[in-house]
Amino acid sequence: MDVLVCAGCGAELSVPVERVALPPEAHASGHHAWMPALMEPGTYAVDPDPWGRPWRRREEIGASEAAALGVYAPLYAVATGPRNVIVLAPGDTRGTRLLPERSGDSCLGIVAGDEPSLLCAGCGLGVGFREDDCGVWQTVRYDPGGVVRRSLGVPAPAAPVRPLPPVDPEGGWDLRWTAAAGTALARLLAASGGRAPVLPPASRPRCSAGPSNGCSRPGRPARPSAWPAPACPGRTPTSSSSPPTDGPESPGGRPGTRSPSRSPPPSGPT
Ligand SMILES: [Zn+2]
């Protein structure tokens, strides 16, 4: 395990944390939804891609330069900030001082701006950014030049397994599942070499079905599916042959309360 310390004065700026892989959803946005912490407690990750400001319009830099920055999709803007930013859960930080007035253009909270919003409480060095706004993961990102990773020489304790339901309490696909599925499919496509993969029936994912058990979005026609769809939390699963319950009987019996920011359920083969 490691402790992150200030590059200026050596003060400890984190609890003991274990390095893990950057979650695939790290760059996903929830639009106007409040989002949880990106990182599990007791962990941190290093983001190899550029992060944050300055942003540049993709049409200005072109597809090849955007790809060199790790962006292949036709996004409007591309981050050209520092690489190897260290990201961890806000609750795992220590010894920092927050300057919310240094927030960038945010909606309901604070996001990263031009200058670090987190300072070392010991020496005042700008060490990172705190983000707490709708549509962004709860994170602290330390500047790789502002902190030093100091090894404690001890292994991390076994991490508890926290199962994550694929469907959130509002009835939408969880953004983490959506990002993980997209990443897995991109890797599958790359590994296929252009050939159509053939999956044996036993390997068909159970969560690839379209809405058929009450998880469908209001106003959206349901699609017939031979595969069972995930059950909505708090509802009794119905068989895949049951009629859809679009409209007033939206998930949880609260029509229109599902966040529009959630990604639509991926459509499975029918
Ligand atoms: Zn310091």
Please tell me the distance between residue 51's alpha carbon and the centre of ligand 1 in angstroms: 23
What is the whole-number distance in angstroms between the Cα of residue 132 and the centre of ligand 1? 23
Count of domains observed in the chain:
2
Q: Does residue 181 form part of some domain? A: no
- Kindly give the distance from the C-alpha atom of residue 53 to the centroid of ligand 1, in angstroms, as a whole number: 23
Mean pLDDT of 180-199: 87
Residue bearing the bigger pLDDT, 161 or 99 = 99
What's the CA-to-centroid distance between 116 and ligand 1, angstroms?
13
Verify that 8 and 72 share a domain, yes or no.
no
The mean pLDDT value for 223-247 works out to 38
Ligand 1 center–CA 197 separation, angstroms: 53
Polymer length of the chain: 270
Question: Which residues, by Cβ under 5 Å, contact ligand 1, an ion?
Answer: 6, 8-9, 11, 120, 122-123, 125
Do 146 and 96 share a structural domain? Answer: yes
CA of 111 to the centre of ligand 1 (A): 22
Rounded to an integer, the average pLDDT of 25-33 is: 85
Residue 237 lies in a domain: no
Q: Indicate whether 17 belongs to any domain.
A: yes
Q: What is the pLDDT of residues 199-223, one digit of tens each?
A: 777 765 554 444 444 444 444 444 4
Out of 151, 168, 201, pick the residue that ends a domain.
151
Q: In 10 A of CB 189, how many CB atoms? A: 11
**CB proximity list for 174: less than 8 A, separation 6 or greater:** 164, 165, 166, 167, 168
Contacts (Cβ under 8 Å, ≥6 apart) of 11: 5, 95, 120, 121, 122, 123
**pLDDT at residue 205, rounded to an integer:** 57
What's the gap in Å between 146 CA and the centre of ligand 1?
9
State the CATH number of the domain containing residue 145.
Answer: 2.170.150
8 A C-beta contact, residue 128 and residue 110: no
Task: Determine the structural domain holding residue 76 and report its residue range.
Answer: 50-81
Whether 89 is covered by a domain: the verdict is yes
Q: Is residue 41 part of a domain?
A: yes
pLDDT tens digits, 94-152: 999 999 999 988 899 999 999 999 999 999 999 999 999 999 999 999 999 999 999 99
Q: What was the pLDDT predicted at 170?
A: 82
Answer whether 0.85 is exceeded by the pTM.
no
Q: For residues 88 and 144, state if they share a domain.
A: yes
| Claim to verify: residue 40 and residue 116 sit in the same structural domain | yes
Say if 141 falls within a structural domain: yes
Residue 62 within any structural domain of the chain: yes
Greater pLDDT, 52 or 13: 13
Ligand 1 mean position, distance from CA 124 (Å): 6
Q: Has residue 29 got a pLDDT over 90? A: no
pLDDT at 248 over 80: no
Note whether 105 and 43 are same-domain residues.
yes
85 or 79: which leads in pLDDT: 85
Domain identity same for 44 and 110: yes
- Label residue 259 by pLDDT band (50, 70, 90): very low
